[in-house]
């Protein structure tokens, strides 16, 4: 049996792949068809819809999944794309948008001429 963390991952992977919202039942079927990826074999053959709903509500609480409430059964979709989530995560680590040249110029400006020369030589390949 797959852990909740692995299931969350599998569910997000599926939701990120498709633009349209899908129901928990459809999601369960897709999860069951999915080949065991990366050899770790997340066994989801015997997955119950209630488990999928649990995973979905956890993901909803984390702000990753949204639910269309005006349809029955509810349909679920990812809040934003995988790329946007990655960008957001990297922003936490890096801060503002990267400006390669400016940063390099700035620290070359603070080292001595000899050091800057050595650095340029080392970086020459790129």
Partner 1 sequence: MFATSWFLAALAVALAWPVPVLLSRAAWPARAPFAALILWQAIALAGGLSMIGAMLCFGLEPLGENLLAGLEHLIGIALGLESMDTLGIWHAFALSAAALLLAHLVFTLLLTFYRIQTQRRRHRDLLHLLSSPSTDRPDTLVINHDVPVAYCLPGGSRSVTVLSDGLMNLLSPDELRAVLIHEEAHLAQRHHLLLWAFAAWRSALPWLPTSKLAQRSVSSLIEMLADDVALREVSRATLVTAIALVASGSAQLPATELVATGGAKIDTPETTSARLGRLLTPRPPLGRGLQALVLGASALLLAAPTALLIVPGVFS
18 binds partner 1 (CB under 8 A): no
* Residue 120 beta carbon to partner 1: minimum distance, rounded to whole angstroms: 10
Nearer to partner 1, 73 or 98 (CB): 98
107 binds partner 1 (CB under 8 A): yes
Sign of CA dihedral 37, 40, 44, 46: positive
86 binds partner 1 (CB under 8 A): yes
Considering only 5, 34, 43, 71, the residue that binds partner 1 (CB under 8 A) is 5
* Residue 69 beta carbon to partner 1: minimum distance, rounded to whole angstroms: 24
> If binding means CB under 8 A, how many residues of this protein chain bind partner 1?
40
DSSP E strand boundaries for 1-126 = 22-23, 65-68, 75-78
Structure tokens at 84: 């946007």
Q: In 3-state terms, what secondary structure has residue 83? A: helix
- Is-contact 47 28, C-beta < 8 A? yes
* Residue 108 beta carbon to partner 1: minimum distance, rounded to whole angstroms: 8
Residue 78 CA: distances (Å) to CA of 46, 64, 100, 123: 24, 6, 32, 41
Per CB under 8 A, residues contacting partner 1 are 5, 8-9, 12, 38, 62, 64, 82-83, 85-90, 92-104, 106-107, 110-112, 114-115, 118-119, 122-123, 126
């Amino acid at each position: 049996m797959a852990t909740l963390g692995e299931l969350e991952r599998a569910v997000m992977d599926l939701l990120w792949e498709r633009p349209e919202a899908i129901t928990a039942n459809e999601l369960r079927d897709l999860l069951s068809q999915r080949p065991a990826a990366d050899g770790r074999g997340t066994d989801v053959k015997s997955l119950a819809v209630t488990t999928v709903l649990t995973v979905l509500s956890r993901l909803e609480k984390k702000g990753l999944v949204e639910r269309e409430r005006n349809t029955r059964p509810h349909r679920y979709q990812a809040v934003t794309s995988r790329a946007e989530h990655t960008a957001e995560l990297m922003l936490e680590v890096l801060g503002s948008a990267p400006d390669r040249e400016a940063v390099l110029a700035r620290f070359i400006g603070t080292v001595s001429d000899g050091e800057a020369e050595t650095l340029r030589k080392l970086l020459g390949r790129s």
